[in-house]
Homo-oligomer: A and B are copies of this chain.
Amino acid sequence: MTGRLEILAPDGIPEVQPGADLAALIGDALASDPRIGLLRDGDVLIVTQKVVSKAEGAVVDLTTIEPRPEAVAFAERFDRDPRQVEVVLREAVRVVRMERGVIITETHHGLICANGGIDASNVGAGTGDVVTLLPRDPDASAARIRAALLERFGVDVPVVVSDSFGRPWRWGIVDVAIGVSGLEPLEDLRGRADHDGRVMRSTVRAVADELASAAELALGKSTGRPVALVRGAEIVRGEGSVRDLLMPRETDLFP
């Protein structure tokens, strides 16, 4: 019987430090969770951005940052940290919107999100002076974790690196994919007949984003559970990239 999915977020991953072997920490946590047992076909591992960034040293000490005048002015006007605004601008290839205290940028990855994905909470420094950047190449981050788990457990588990993004028109953040390895992030149902035998049009599903959102429900936000295993999702294996999810600017109606 299908139509069943399980999401398991193991405990036991300690505070991640720069240079940490994240795949080993994840492997230990998976191996010691009796609910998980052996990894199997149909499992997908979701890893949240922050631990990836921390392990890869994608962090910035704000005390080293000299903000440009534009960052100082924006920060003063909207009660923000000018050094953090400066880092957001440095990481941007394009500013999409910068108003009302919100900065939406396009990062070098092609991701469009608030503050370029730069985040101060849960960094573990305690002082508020350290922020995480997005991983330099989140597909590669996912691939490295996938390869290490394959080496250790002999099972090829697709990996999604996730982050929390806002959306136009709707309040609240949801987790989406910012890096993938071992699966096709888009499932293209166009041309497949639907339940009535009619041919569906324009039905391309962002499975990797739905996996990220589903995993988040099991993580909680402030609990020190940075990864979740989704078991039973019917994903399409493949060598997809987060770039498959990103709409080129010329196609987008909200550039």
Contact = CB atoms under 8 A, between A and B. Distances in A.
A196 B124 contact: yes
Interface of A is mostly: loop
Contact size range, A: 35 or more
A100 interface: yes
Contact of A4 (B2, B8, B126): B8
Contacts of A77: none
Interface in A169-199: 169-176, 185-187, 189, 192-198
A213 B171 contact: no
Contacts of A122: 194-196, 198, 200
A171 B1 contact: no
Contact of A213 (B198, B210, B254): B210
Interface stretch (A18-26, A55-63, A148-156, A215-223): A215-223
A244 interface: yes
A45 interface: no
B222 A194 contact: yes
Interface in A92-147: 97, 99-100, 102, 104, 112, 120-126, 128
A73 B254 CA distance: 23
B4 A4 contact: no
22 contacts: A3-B10, A3-B225, A4-B7, A100-B253, A122-B196, A126-B197, A164-B203, A167-B168, A168-B168, A169-B246, A169-B247, A171-B204, A171-B244, A172-B185, A174-B210, A175-B210, A192-B222, A194-B221, A195-B223, A200-B221, A205-B221, A209-B213
